Structure 1
Amino acid sequence: MLWKASVFGALCLLLGRVFGAGREFVLAREVGPTDEMASYVLASTIFLALAGLVAGVASALVLRGAGSLRNIGYLAAVLGALPILGLVLCDAVYRLEHFQIFFLFAISIPFYAVYGVANGRLLCGGLSSFGMLTSTIPALVSAIAIFVPMGMLVDRAAWGNLLGAVVMAALTRHRSRLAEIPDVTKSAGVLVVQATAISAVSVINIASPIIDRFFATGFGSQELVLLNLGAILYVGATTSLGLAMGNAAVSRESIGAPSFSVLSMVLVPLLVCVAFMLLIPVFVTVVLSGASYGMTAPALLTGICFIYALTTPCAIINQINMRLWNRTAEARSMFIFAAAILILNLLCNMLFVSVVGVIGIAVATFTVQILQTVVLGIIRSDSKLSTLSISGTVFLGGLVVVFS
């Protein structure tokens, strides 16, 4: 049942990533490295990351029994409204270019909050698959919307994401009523403290792409777009398989069932890494055909993709371990861990970007994920898992260097 739920969930999430990647390919080829495309990349990266954060925090609060479902729902609604308020204030001060694109992504966040609470109920009831299935809907609707002959391409993609988020929230909430879980009554103070701690740890997942895009903006529109394209396969692999395995493991642990073996947690991500590397030449050729990129674009995109491929094994394992740890960790430990990883991420980006340019952003992600694997291995008393995963990554990296 564990692997069945993981494989089904991974396929659902991967399908969502395929829809998202297809949308990005069409936009990259038709719009190209323009200011409009750069605004779309920034808006989708920032606000979809925040949407994932809100949904993840809401689900984790339900799993931890941090408070009543009603109070968790209220808190999630507040968290979903804050980015919208921040965007409106930012536009009032700076008059953002292409504001509509940013706004359409921002107003989808409250619907992700509804989805998060409902998905938490499903996970508590051992029903992890349905939530992962409905999570593909925004990407699917957005991919379809770009072919509707109305308005600009990037506006269509943003409208499609919003409509998909509404449908996703409605279906998941309806299904969650079948999962009967005991409602917990705790003080609002406990709920806020736990939500803050979970948010701090979850920021690790969303901070990396935001920090990466922030540093990439200093290199120009082409480099920003290439970095976004280079991360598509990496993000697809880690957020599909990693999230599916993590949700399945948490759901099984919630009902007292056994989780994955160490061997399977190492071998599966390494196989994904190998598959990723084999796809890179085709990926680069397809992505860069049709749009006017510079002469250095193929080599730069290939390098970014290879580094992200090597990051994949540790990133997937970290997704699983983070979800298992979040369920029982103390708030203080979560704060310390989140602060350390966030500072490390910033320092690594500053260091490697200054040394090797935009490709240093991918190197920074690789370094942070390796160190995060070590730290989580120590915290969870599972040094064997971290040692095997890092050794496998180093071995694959050595093969790339030898045969490239």
Structure 2
Amino acid sequence: MTIFEDLAPRRAAQRPLRVAVLGCSGSIGRQTLDVCRRHADKVRVVALSVNASTRALVDAAREFRPAHVAVADATRSSDPVLSELPDGCELAFGPEAVTGLAELDDVDMVVNALVGFAGIHAGFAALAAGKSLAYANKESIVCGGDLMMPLARPGRLLPVDSEHSAIYQCLVGERPEDVARIWLTCSGGPFYGRRRDELADVSAERALAHPTWSMGAKITIDSATLMNKGLEVIEAHHLFQRPVDDIRVLVHPQSKIHSMVEFVDGTVKAQLGSSDMRGPIQYALSYPERWEASARRVDWCAEDPLTFGEADEGTFGCLALAREAGRAGGTLPCAMNAANEVANEAFRQGLCGFLDIERVVARVMERTAVERVDSVAQLDEVDARARELARATLMEVVR
């Protein structure tokens, strides 16, 4: 199955849409609940999960009254606040409990807002169970696209990334053979225009100061290194069945054009909107319909000029490494992603420098034997080995 088949209209069997929001306390999860709140006549939240933020879980549960909630971190099972959950709300603990929410009979759509590789299990389970999957967890497609794409039923796999939502919208009604290339837009992050030597001593605090988007800490650092854009190139490769080298990264600092598709006749279609994730989240929930806006409308007469630039893969080597992994395919993107997650966290904790993230990822990729992807269990093993290697490599590069 290709994404072009997915672009067939999804006919919902019932209303309201019954939604499970996995990772409801994070940035994407909170904004998903904003959309659900605004469109309470169209969406009913039936399941919620958090990693460890039990206070946020209870607050959301008391508002939306889901039948099921889960906490991934089982050590939080004795948190007193959990006694405030509404009556009749089923509570479970552990990563398996979170994955279980994606398979419930009373769930129509799973919003996967889990962070990192850990989200692959819930995404895979949702598709295998025949659910619609609105995913912000790009790592699941980057690492497991070979497994997940064949499971996607028509109209049941909806990207929540602003860029991939934009591409998806630009492709509605189009034929795959008419696509020449994809222009994947990129804000450039907080260090756009800097030389490589100027990045050696930047702090995590500076890297977390994103100029246009409000995101979680991990993805914000990925945006600063351009690894986030590299992951999105691989994601687009799987989702839209395009070669990695047909996906161009275009720096667009204003973050108003969310991506573009160029066709063989030279025509380019672009999707524009505010720098607000509630737009793509809502499109995933409403597709193929469009609901009244949850994000602010843009007054284009009052906007600053829109500008564009080239992504500097020499200065921001993580983007080049991701392209290399995407071309190689197999298990290499999984190993690359694992190394990046380890190095990203180490940088946020002050244990390594900004450029060390790239060094760790490069060395792990060099030392990884590429295999064909066969199962999620195999990817778990690849992920674990790459993390161990990344931690050892960190000790080498920071000496």
The two structures have a TM-score, normalised by structure 1, of: 0.29
Comparing both chains, which one has the higher relative contact order based on Cα–Cα distances under 8 Å and sequence gaps of 6 or more? 1
Flag the structure with higher helix content: 1
Flag the structure with higher strand content: 2
The two structures have a TM-score, normalised by structure 2, of: 0.29
